[in-house]
Chain A
Amino acid sequence: MRYERIVEKVTLTLGTAVLVAMAVLIAADVLLRQTMDAGIPTVPDFVSFYLMVAISFIPIAYTQVYRSHVETTVLFQVLPPALKKILLWLNAAIGIGMFSLLTYLSLVEALNQTEKRSFIESGKVLFQIWPSYWLLPISFGAMLFVLCHQIWMARVETEISLPYASGDSETSQ
């Protein structure tokens, strides 16, 4: 659990910083535009390409630490325990497969964008956006790490530790 706590603390700290920065920057931009008829240059681009990307991906691993990604349990509940166990392991394996793929693809994309030094035109400014592409492989990688760790804990503990087994007591018996 120690490693998951590290991920939780890092993602919570970064996420909090992003939330506060987003609120302050947008509000300051509106205030300046209303009072001085001139907003802060590049705020919409910084919010879109950095803060929005960060707040979309950083919390994915944080949510997984608490096993809180949305899932439906209504039909699952009526299945026999043996089948439930199989499905929990299968879902965990699919999750690992998908996030491995996302981590790999986003890493390749981040390397491509870095090589191109990609940017957008923001008024008269050339606004570099390539660093923001690195938020994806880092976030997906953190998610992958949490998933693997939870599966590892399930191997040495019980299926209750599996990534998508929140609140399921029957499978742990």
Chain B
Amino acid sequence: MSDQTIGLLALIAVLVMIALRAPIAIALLTVTFAAIWHIAGLQPAISILTSVPYNFTSSWTLSSIPMFLFMGYIAYHSGMTKGLFQAARVWLSWLPGGLAISSIVGCGGFASVTGSSMACSAAVGRIAVPEMTQRGYDIRIATGAVAVGGTLGALIPPSLLLILYGIYAQVSITDLFYYGLLLGISSIFMYTATILVLYYISPGRMPMTESFSWQERASSIYGILPAGFLAASVFGGLFLGIFTATEAGAIGVVLAAAISLLTRSLTWEGFIESCKDTLMSCGNIFLIAIAANSFTRMIALSGISSDLGMWLESTDLGPNQILLIIFVMYLILGMFIDPLGAMLLSLPIILPILPDQGISVIWFGMFLAKLLEMGMISPPVGLNVFVIHGIFKETVRLEQVFYGILPFFIADIILVFVLMGARSVLF
């Protein structure tokens, strides 16, 4: 059996094991070990399992992941993010579909502090969905807007997907954050435009709500000052070059703790919950990342990615056609595997073919984050959809949330094509 065949079988074996509920990390490690043993012998297989875990994790750059996670959880458990939706509501309720737009902008603000899609959907959803349904909003639009708003966590800094992508692709995380912020803001505009279109098609599904006085608007700012100050300090310092992306996370933790202690909003229980949530996320992320790094070595040894590159060169496919194939592949992958697993599983195969096709690695990071984010709202897995359904299962059916997602999903597809158009002009 050729090395390429073993590599291909290994890829299939990983997908089968994941489908049969083996944890992603265990599936990757087991298959990697077996495949390298077949390709190069037992000693290289042992060597990979011995060296990769330590060498991969003893990294200065990687420390931004636990730090940004910790910052986000402290901000969340201290209640710093509570006022974001309310402030957005007070400022934007005069717009048609104002509450739905507010929930998306609130999610954007939440994402800039926590970087977590599911936490974003859950936290904003708990406040925004009852508010919308009380005001006569269609439950499908209400839940759909919040589920899709949560996906901004994958784009807006400090997106953990972008940090990991930057480490794997060896590109500047600050650059990724900068373009991620632009893409996040573009997504907010697209979702807002979608809500406006839905309103003009059927205004009865989103009744107009009261508008607020300037005094009320001014006082709503007070509620978001701590979160605003935290995000502005961390990302201001990062984009102005005062500190690096790696250092920004730790500065964020210290600032979040200091703000919540000054405002007396962080209890001891809240602090312990922040630590527990951070550890739980680290336990998952790093084990999968280590396993994916080992898997990358196996893919390289098997020669699959170089063969794929040569095959693509021999065809007449241009970069845009290849990107379309990748687009479809991620839509399918995103239906079954969580975004982190889907990204780390596919990068070893896809990253090596990008330079030959003239595709910017930074641009591809944006493209990838957008596709992975779409996976979080696409059936049958759609993690954000499940989060929202889990909270409101007594009032909304799962298919209603998926129905509510549909217009936003179409907006996402349009944005992906705009992004592909921008590639040839800007990158």
Contacts of B280 in A (CB 8 A): 59, 62-63, 66, 68
* Residue pair A71, B21 in contact (C-beta under 8 Å): yes
Task: Please provide the chain B residues from 225 to 261 with a CB less than 8 Å away from any CB of chain A in the complex.
Answer: 242-243, 246-247, 249-251, 253-254, 257
State the CA gap A86–B48 with chains docked (Å): 30
- The answer to whether B53 touches A91 (Cβ under 8 A) is no
Q: Hey, which chain B residues are within 8 Å of A48, CB to CB?
A: 58-60, 63
A76–B250 touching, CB < 8 Å: no
Query: Are A30 and B279 closer than 8 Å at their CB atoms?
Result: no
Residue of A nearest to B287 (CB): A60
A112 to chain B, nearest CB (A): 9
- Report if B18 contacts A (CB, 8 A): yes
Docked pose: A79 CA to B249 CA in angstroms:
43
CB pair A71–B276 under 8 Å, yes or no, is no
Q: Does A55 contact B (CB under 8 A)?
A: yes
Chain A interface category by residue count: 35 or more
Q: Are A76 and B20 neighbours in the complex by a CB distance under 8 Å?
A: yes
Whether the pair B58, A53 counts as a contact (CB closer than 8 A) is yes
Chain B residues within 8 Å of A73, by CB: 21
B-side interface residues, number (CB < 8 Å):
56
Determine the distance from Cα of A98 to Cα of B26 in the docked complex, in whole angstroms. Answer: 7
Query: Could you say which residues of chain A place their CB within 8 Å of the CB of B282?
Result: 15, 55-56, 59
Q: Complex Cα distance A27/B312, Å?
A: 47
**Secondary structure type dominating chain B contacts:** helix
- Rounded to whole Å, the gap between the CB of A79 and the closest CB of chain B is 8
Shortest Cβ gap from B55 to chain A (Å): 10
Which residues of chain A are near B287, meaning CB under 8 Å?
60, 63, 69
The reply to whether the CB of B290 lies closer than 8 angstroms to some CB of chain A is yes
Give min CB distance, A10 to chain B, whole Å. Answer: 12
B203 at the interface (CB under 8 A from A): no
* Nearest CB in chain A: distance from B304 CB, A: 23
Contact B250 A98 (CB under 8 A): no
Is the CB–CB distance between B279 and A11 below 8 Å?
A: yes
Q: Of A12, A24, A49, A61, which contacts B275 at CB under 8 A?
A: A12
Contact A30 B251 (CB under 8 A): yes
A27 touches B254 (CB 8 A): yes
Is B57 close to A, CB under 8 A? yes
Residues of B within 8 A of A66 (CB): 280
**Quick check: is A95 within 8 A (CB to CB) of the other chain?**
yes
**A105 sits at the interface (CB 8 A):** yes
Taking the complex as formed, is B343 at the interface, i.e. its CB lies under 8 A from any CB of chain A? Answer: no
Name the B residues within 8 Å of A16 (CB-CB).
272, 275, 279
Q: Which listed residue, A22, A25, A106, A132, touches B66 by the CB 8 Å rule?
A: A22
Q: Bound complex: CA of A24 vs CA of B67, how far in Å?
A: 11
Q: Give the residue of A60, A95, A101 whose beta carbon is less than 8 angstroms from that of B33.
A: A101
Complex Cα spacing A169 to B287, Å: 27
- Chain A contacts of B246 at CB under 8 A? 26
Q: How far is the CB of A110 from chain B (nearest CB, A)?
A: 9
Instruction: Given A19-B70, A56-B282, A70-B23, answer yes or no on A30-B243 (Cβ-Cβ < 8 Å).
Output: yes
A74 touching B22 in the complex, CB below 8 Å, given contacts A26-B250, A47-B63:
no
Q: Is the CB of B279 within 8 A of A15?
A: yes
Q: Which residues of B contact A (CB under 8 A)?
A: 18-26, 29-30, 33, 46, 49-50, 53-54, 57-60, 62-63, 66-67, 70, 242-243, 246-247, 249-251, 253-254, 257, 272, 275-276, 278-280, 282-284, 286-288, 290, 336-338, 340-341, 380-381
Q: A47-B63, A56-B286, A59-B286 are in contact. List 10 more A-B contacts (CB 8 A).
A: A25-B250, A26-B63, A26-B251, A30-B250, A55-B286, A63-B280, A73-B21, A74-B19, A76-B21, A91-B22
Q: Which residues of A come within 8 Å of B, CB atoms?
A: 11-12, 15-16, 19, 22-27, 29-30, 34, 44, 47-49, 51-53, 55-64, 66, 68-76, 87-88, 91, 94-95, 97-98, 101-102, 105-106, 108-109, 129, 132-133, 136, 164
Give 19 pairs: A residue, B residue, CB < 8 Å, sorted on A.
Answer: A12-B279, A48-B58, A57-B57, A59-B280, A59-B283, A60-B287, A69-B24, A72-B18, A72-B24, A72-B336, A74-B336, A87-B20, A94-B22, A94-B26, A101-B49, A105-B50, A106-B54, A132-B54, A132-B58
